[in-house]
Amino acid sequence: MPKPVTEDTPFVPDDDTYHAVSDDPFELETTWWSLNIPERRIGAWLHAGYHSNRHEVTWRVFVWDPRGADPGRLAYYKIVPDVPMPPDPDLRDITFPAGGFSVKMLEPLMHYRVAYRDAEADFAIELEHRSVHPPHRFTPGQAPIMHNPHLDQLGHVTGELVLHGERIAIDCHSVRDRTWGPRGGHHAQSRKPEHLRGEHRVAHPGGPRWREIERERGRGRIQYIFGHTGARTGFLSFVRPQDGDAAGWSPLNVGWLLKDGVFERLDPSRSRMRNFRDPNTGWSAHMEVALVDVTGRTMEAEGFALSHMCEHASGANALMRWEYDGQIGWGEDQDGWRAEHFVKMLTALRSTR
């Protein structure tokens, strides 16, 4: 009988490729690569979601900087949805169909080459992601991933970005992640009675109205933050606004603290974040983060959003500049909302009476 999977169960080399998990039509497996170029306030993603039982993939590549946040004004944006995938795809050596990016595994679980080119737009990315630690597992049973296996992994990312013909060096520390299991459809719908009745309870009422709306439960809110200074200092965490207090502090339920080159899991009972939003856009602008790991080590971080990417007309991904332990780090805030909930919060944030 197989051993139960815990957060300490290591990933194995076969996890570099796709998994045959179930016959659920909503089975989805993702691969995501991020990078940043601080001097240019640039953030970038390469992402592919493979619906393994539909044999279709949606891939996207985008780059953002301070010049614009929506897809029509981004430095670069390309999405190709629901493309038929060739039989038996191998994520260890793949080029996604219809002009997508390529992934080549060079060392199992640790070293990868990723490349993409759009000659018509005079755009290209070529990078290597050299992981600085084995992938971390934050499942099972931990929101927001819950029962789907999930890994996060910090890496040293080097290479070159070609943007409108300009060659820009890439040399940063950033994160890749992967998730596999059913997602979307009925899996995205809460079965709690209050949600089915259209009620959205707040765990700790009070405080500014917009913060109270941000904390409404059953709205599918996801927030994911990280920042690193090289391979020795930084943090990563999922935020739980739904469990936050009236003063705006939200607990960090899973993640890591990286200090003196040592990774430790966060203590979710003592780690928290407070976000301040731009009243014009509703997007994250400034954050205070207090981190405590399971061994008692601490870090206080302050972050500012310097550029945004808003793909779906509500929340945004932000390039974040962090200060902690006398150092400067770079990373992201991924602030996910359902559109109708974001509009409700933004209306309160902009209120004049």
C-beta atoms surrounding 75 within 10 Å: 21
Q: Is the pLDDT of residue 189 over 70?
A: no
Domain 199-349 has CATH 2.40.370: yes
Strand partners, 121: none
290-312 pLDDT, tens digit per residue, is 999 999 999 999 999 999 999 99
Q: Is the pLDDT of residue 281 over 90?
A: yes
Check if 14-182 and 199-349 are the same fold.
yes
The predicted model scores a pTM of 0.95
* Beta carbons within 8 Å of 70's beta carbon, 6+ residues apart: 310, 311, 313
In the three-class reduction of DSSP (H, G, I as helix; E, B as strand; rest coil), residue 163 is classed as: strand
- Give the pLDDT score at 218: 86
206-254 pLDDT, tens digit per residue, is 999 999 999 999 888 889 999 999 999 999 999 999 999 999 999 998 9
Strand 56-64, strand 76-84: pairing: antiparallel
Per-residue confidence at 196, pLDDT binned at 50, 70, 90? Answer: low
* Beta carbons within 8 Å of 279's beta carbon, 6+ residues apart: 349, 350
Architecture of domain 14-182: Beta Barrel (2.40)
Determine which of 138-147, 212-221, 283-292 has the lowest per-residue pLDDT on average.
138-147
- Give the pLDDT score at 133: 96
CA angle, corner 235, sides to 230 and 236, nearest 5? Answer: 120
Q: Is the pLDDT of residue 323 over 90?
A: yes
How far, in Å, are 31, 126, 336 from residue 109 at the CA level? 13, 19, 28
Q: What whole-number distance in Å separates Cα of residue 282 and Cα of residue 308?
A: 12
Report domain extents, the chain.
14-182, 199-349
- Give the pLDDT score at 6: 85
- Give the pLDDT score at 184: 79
